[in-house]
Structure 1
Amino acid sequence: MISIVIPVYNAAKFLGECLSNIQRQTLNDFECLLVNDGSTDSSLEICKETAANDSRFKVVDQPNSGAAGARATGARAATRRYVCFIDADDIIHPEFLETLLAASNDCPPGHIVSSEICPYQDGERPAFSVSSGPNSRQDRLSALSSLLYQKSVNGVVAKLYPRVLISESDFRGDVVIGEDLIQNLESVKRAEGIVSEASRLYAYRLHASSSIRNASAESHVKLLCYLEEQKSELPELRNALDNRIFAESMFATLETDFMKNHKRGSSLTGKLISNIERTRKVVVKDPDSRYEYRLLAAASFVHPLLPRFLMTLRSSLRRSPGGI
């Protein structure tokens, strides 16, 4: 019933635990596609050994193309009705697949099913929880709105997608920042909605190299262009899109190359500042905006780079002894 897709890149330290958790699933009807994305450690050998001992696991080896490219390869090779993406350094509860499949069977066709994610520090036990409470359901427009307002997780993990909702064009390997958001928005646009399973069954491991990118202010541009393009396709969500454009433009100013480019008067930094000035009034007035974004948008009326200073100061205080 389920095709699991795991992008694997230099994950030897954690891969064995991830795969053994999948082998212990209470649901046996799955295939697991291990897409080795040009690893230079022993990841490929671990994948091959697992596949040799368990026919449910299949190895696809390819040159490095990034997580989105590896997921695209896995999705193309998937043969089951549903597709589930798992990261190679994360672990899942033994009932993860069974619970998500049951939730999918209980809802109308065309819905994506999502589980709660529990972050945990490497070396600690994840705080899994199995809930007996009712699942919540959002229609397509509400689900898209939640993604844009960051009221739901942008990640593609911890979700069960009907395979028919996934398209090759969803996987934007050319986007450094926000490829998960784009994939989810595109899939949800084809879906009837999202069903949220209240259980916490997916554990996201926090460690030294998790979610670290060599990002630049310019790396945000393609995501910002994509969001701007969506206004013609999703006119009902213009406020939500402006909210996300404000947030992404604001965070882009935190990248290490921003001030250097700003001092040189680059068109990129001018575009980011223009985005902040253009969308801040929407953010301040929109009751669905996150409270902290409304405060930062209000601060930008004093100076468009004041939010950057405030976010940098807040981060510095959090790192200092006794900081907030």
Structure 2
Amino acid sequence: MPNQAKFKDPKISVVIPVYNVEPFVGKCLSTLVHQTFQDFEIIAVNDGSKDGSLAILREFERNYANIIVIDQPNAGMSMARNRGMEAARGEYLCFVDSDDYVSPYFLEELYRAVTENDADIACCYYYYHFVRSDVLYKYPFRCHGVFSRDVAMNKLLHDTQIQSLVWNKIYKRSLFTDYGITFPSMAFEDLATANKLFSHANKVVVIDKALYYYSQQSTSTLATINADKINDFIRATAMVRATLENVGVYSDYEKAYHALCRKTGLCCLYYVLKMHLRERKGANCLSNLNRVRRGIFYCCSKQFKLENLRRHMPDVTVCPPALKENYSTR
């Protein structure tokens, strides 16, 4: 178990799930230990890495009093994040992926934004870092300011002005603990989780500064798309509706939710075609396209119930095998 006495009562807990990222995790941690904001802990959860990631984590743990390393068998990114949350003691939570890195002002700016505006969530802009070509691209956000729950939820559901990502944000930890929110064990878990968090946030602030560097690699969820992930994308979209219904606000956001469904549907249709072309196998392609269509239509239907999704949309099944290990880096 980690030594919880190492760094007492930090303001922020930064949770980092780690799996086979030996070439990148050192840079990730280096950018965090050199933050201008100092009152925080880092909880790095090694999720059964088979490379030298754990050794790098242990070296940082020896050298920095605010780093806690948890080692567990491979269980997937969501379970690693959940394990980190269990150990967290900060008033605020932040998530950083282990192959990404951050600006020296990342925590300072987000903490200032969330506290000065008495908000529950603060978001920042980010860069895409295309690792292979070493190119940086600033994502073109189109909003900043302080937003009520209603405005923030509409922006999140449209998934352009605010995106369903967990890593470019800071959250009051009470959002997770008071409402029992954890990450589901699936791909596209951010989509399902972010909407739960926003549905309980009274105020959200977005700052117009790019402070996070997202590393786009060949091992990301979208780069390694397969049948299981397509099914999870639709399931995560269905979980968003279930969240809205459980909170009693689905009718308020029905139009925005339908926009999300259209985006999910178009993406999944593209992924099915891409998957079959990659494998050079046409069998089941039309059936899979129809399964996606049926699933999206059901998500928007008046008869929707999350537990009945699989009955209305049989799983997309194809050629590409699912990943052998229960893990995705995105």
- Pick closer, same or farther for the CA change 1:72–1:259 going to 2, 3 Å: farther
Of 1, 4, 9, 2:19 maps to 9
**Structure 1 position 6, deviation (Å):** 0.4
How do residues 76-225 of structure 1 correspond to structure 2 at under 5 angstroms? 76-108=86-118, 110-122=119-131, 124=134, 136-151=145-160, 152-167=162-177, 168-173=180-185, 175-176=186-187, 178-211=188-221, 212-216=223-227, 217-225=230-238
Q: Which digits, 9 at most, give the CA deviation of each residue in 1:250-274, with x for residues without a partner?
A: 32223226963355x5xx6544223
**For 1:269 and 1:199, how far apart are their aligned partners in 2?**
39
Q: Which digits, 9 at most, give the CA deviation of each residue in 1:270-299, with x for residues without a partner?
A: 44223566899xxxxxxxxxxxxxxxxxxx
| Stretch deviating more after TM superposition (55-64 or 222-231) | 222-231
Matched, 1:248 2:268: no
**For 1:101 and 1:92, how far apart are their aligned partners in 2?**
14
Asked whether the 8 Å contact 2:195–2:243 carries over to 1, the reply is: no
- Pick closer, same or farther for the CA change 1:224–1:161 going to 2, 3 Å: closer
- Pick closer, same or farther for the CA change 1:273–1:43 going to 2, 3 Å: same
* Structure 2 counterpart of 1:117, one-letter code: Y
Of 67, 73, 80, 1:70 maps to 80
Q: Secondary structure at the match of 2:284?
A: helix
Asked whether the 8 Å contact 1:136–1:195 carries over to 2, the reply is: yes
- Pick closer, same or farther for the CA change 1:58–1:195 going to 2, 3 Å: same
**Alignment partner, residue 226 of structure 1:** 239
Q: Which digits, 9 at most, give the CA deviation of each residue in 1:112-156, with x for residues without a partner?
A: 01111111232747579xxxxx95011112211112111222210
Q: Secondary structure at the match of 2:253?
A: helix
Q: Secondary structure at the match of 1:166?
A: helix
What TM-score do the two structures reach when normalised by structure 1? 0.76
**Alignment partner, residue 292 of structure 2:** 272
What TM-score do the two structures reach when normalised by structure 2? 0.74
Of 254, 260, 273, 2:283 maps to 260
**Alignment partner, residue 293 of structure 1:** none
Which blocks of at least 5 consecutive residues in structure 1 are unaligned? Answer: 129-133, 281-324
**Alignment partner, residue 237 of structure 1:** 253
| Stretch deviating more after TM superposition (81-90 or 228-237) | 228-237
Asked whether the 8 Å contact 1:250–1:276 carries over to 2, the reply is: no
Q: Which digits, 9 at most, give the CA deviation of each residue in 1:78-111, with x for residues without a partner?
A: 0010111001111111111111111122102x42
Which blocks of at least 5 consecutive residues in structure 2 are unaligned? Answer: 1-10, 301-330
Q: Secondary structure at the match of 1:83?
A: strand
**Structure 1 position 231, deviation (Å):** 5.4
**Alignment partner, residue 327 of structure 2:** none
Count of matched residue pairs: 271
Asked whether the 8 Å contact 2:175–2:181 carries over to 1, the reply is: no
**Structure 1 position 210, deviation (Å):** 3.4
Identity %: 28
How do residues 274-313 of structure 1 correspond to structure 2 at under 5 angstroms? 274=294
**For 1:125 and 1:149, how far apart are their aligned partners in 2?**
27
Q: Secondary structure at the match of 1:52?
A: helix
**Structure 1 position 171, deviation (Å):** 0.7
**Structure 1 position 208, deviation (Å):** 2.9
- Pick closer, same or farther for the CA change 1:150–1:135 going to 2, 3 Å: closer
User: Which has the bigger relative contact order, CA under 8 A and spacing at least 6?
Assistant: 2
Asked whether the 8 Å contact 1:8–1:35 carries over to 2, the reply is: yes
- Pick closer, same or farther for the CA change 1:261–1:126 going to 2, 3 Å: closer
Q: Secondary structure at the match of 1:27?
A: coil
* Structure 2 counterpart of 1:261, one-letter code: N
- Pick closer, same or farther for the CA change 1:259–1:161 going to 2, 3 Å: farther
